[in-house]
Amino acid sequence: MQKTTHFGFKDIATEDKQDMVRGVFDSVANKYDLMNDVLSFGAHRLWKHYAINVANVKTGDKVLDIAGGTGDLARAFAQKVGDSGQVVLTDINAAMLNEGRKNLIDKGTCGVQFVQLNGEQIAFADNSFDCVSIAFGLRNVTDKQQCINEMHRVLKPGGCLLILEFSKTDNALLEKFYDFYSFKVMPELGKIIANDEESYRYLAESIRKHPDQETLKKMVLDAQFALCEYHNLSGGIVALHKGIKAQ
C-alpha cells in the first residue's frame, strides 16, 4: 500500500508532500516577513527573542538553523557567536533561502553560511554544532522524528536543541478565538496581502496537525536527548522545546 501523510487536513502520498510544501513557500517567500508581522501582530519577534535567550549561545559557538527561512534567528545568533563562531542558515526551499540571504545582507550581517538542505538529511558530520534550532518549520517536515534524530546527531555532546513552533492551548476561550482567526482571518489576509489564500489555509491547518507539547517532548526524548523541557508562550499558542544532548 502507498504510504500517506497529511498536507494540512488533506491526506496525500508521502512522496508528494515535500514538493507541495515547496510550492507553498515558493508562493509566500517574498511576503513572508510582512505576513508574519501582520498575522502575529509582531509577536513572532518576541517569541524568537525568547528562544535566542533560552539558547545561551556564547562567543565562538557553532549554530545550525534548520528551515531558517528569512534569517531572523540566524542574524541574532550571528551577533551572539561573534567573528570566532559560525552560523549556518539552512532551508529546503531555495526561494526562502534567497530571502534570508537578502535580508541578512541588507541588515549588514556577515559571515553566515547558507546551505539548501532537507532537515531529514542534514549534510553535516556528527557532533558538529553547539546549538541546532528550528523555528516554525518542523510542522512542514514530512518525517518529524527523523528530523529530530538528525538534529541530535549533528549536535555536540551537551549541545542544545531549540524547537519553536505553534502548539496547543488549553484555554477554551483562547482556543475558540484562535480557531476563528486561523480559519477565517488568516486565509483572507493571505488573499489580500500575498494574493494567496490557499497557502495560508494550509499553514493554518498544518498547525492543527502538529504534535502537542507533551507529544513533541516525547519525540525529543525518543531521539535520545538527555532531557527536554518546554515553555508555553502566548497561552500555549506557541511552545519552545529545549533539548540537551547527553555529555
Q: Which domains are assigned to the chain?
A: 24-245 (3.40.50.150)
> Between residues 125 and 31, which one has the greater pLDDT?
125
The 10s digit of each residue's pLDDT in 169-183 is: 999 999 999 999 999
**pLDDT on residue 33:** 86
What is the pTM (predicted TM-score) of this model?
A: 0.93
Whether the CB-CB separation of 72 and 100 falls below 8 Å is answered with no
Rounded to whole angstroms, the Cα distance separating 152 from 135 reads 16
Under a CB-based contact definition with an 8 Å cutoff, are residues 161 and 247 in contact? Answer: no
pLDDT tens digits along 24-47: 888 888 888 888 899 899 999 999
Q: What is the pLDDT of residue 32?
A: 86
CA 218-223-224 angle, to 5 degrees, is 100
| pLDDT of 1 over the 70 cut | no
Mean pLDDT of the chain: 94
Please, which pLDDT band fits residue 19 given cuts at 50, 70 and 90?
confident
The pLDDT, as a whole number, for residue 83 is: 95
As a whole number of angstroms, the distance between CA 140 and CA 206 comes to: 7
Q: What average pLDDT does this structure show over 73-90?
A: 97
